[in-house]
Amino acid sequence: MSLYRACPKDGVAWVTGGSSGIGRALAMELAARGFTVAVTAREEDPIDSLVDEAKALPGRILSYPCDVTDEKGMAATVEAIEAAAGPIVLAVFNAGTYLAVSGDNLSVRKFRRSFDINAMGIVHGLVPVVARMRQRGRGHVVLVGSISAYFGWPTTAAYGATKAAINLLAQSLKFDLDRMNVRLQVMNPGFVDTPITRKSAFRLPGLISDAEAGRRIWRGIERGGFETTFPRRLVWIVKFLSLLPGPLRHWFISAVTGWKTRPSLSPRPRPRI
């Protein structure tokens, strides 16, 4: 028997990090497909304009503000959504942040913040929503990762580590969620034009719009495969690089990002007199 796949007539789609970027685009895409979409973002993030934009669509968007780092708040949000709008049949954990971390300026705060939002932010919502899906005997969960999970890039020590954790979390939980008739998917997009990527100091190859990313994630949800990656032209290159021996891959990434030509971080020896 094939695993459950969410559809609008069964209940609500819940999207975290839905006030901007990929989450906002995906919320609009889901509403266009007829879903009632509960969108979660922090209180200060603009969800009201998203609700207004969706009024002409077949579905609707509802606002449920919450910070994903708040464990009790996320559990209460799941309860509030289901009490007011219906059962959550599709949960998309998209909330995330990118904080650049380089070896010459390591920061405990940046690592902790990255894991609190990107990794534990998923766990805080996943635990209560999967418990309810298990009781109902069906559900559909999507985790938004990144192709940065495949290997390390300069400045992604924190971000990439969280995305690798998301992928491993999904691979591990799939064994049990399959038996519960809860479909689990992971989306690993490449570079998407969002407020996060606009801060990048690098030229980002294969950059696509957030609207296009939302459409591709929806197609991945529709098809139901475990992993969805895009854009294909960039993913092929990255997956090929992941197969290379570590030293060769490190040399290549250093060269294409310009890291190879950056000044040495090692203390220079004092000249002998």
159 has catalytic annotation: yes
Collapsed DSSP state (helix, strand, coil) of residue 207: coil
Q: Find out whether the peptide bond into 46 is cis, omega within 30 degrees of 0.
A: no
Q: Which residues of 169-181 are buried (b: 16+ CB within 10 A; e: fewer)?
A: bbeebbeebeebb
- Say how many C-beta atoms besides its own lie within 10 A of residue 239's C-beta: 12
Residue type, 176: D
Kindly name the residue from 4, 64, 98, 159 that is annotated as catalytic.
159
Question: What is the rounded distance in angstroms from the CA atom of residue 156 to the CA atom of residue 161?
Answer: 8
Q: Which residues of 27-63 are buried (b: 16+ CB within 10 A; e: fewer)?
A: bbbbbbbebbbbbbbeeebebeebbeebeebebebbe
Phi, psi of 174 (to 5 degrees): -60, -35
Catalytic residues: 159
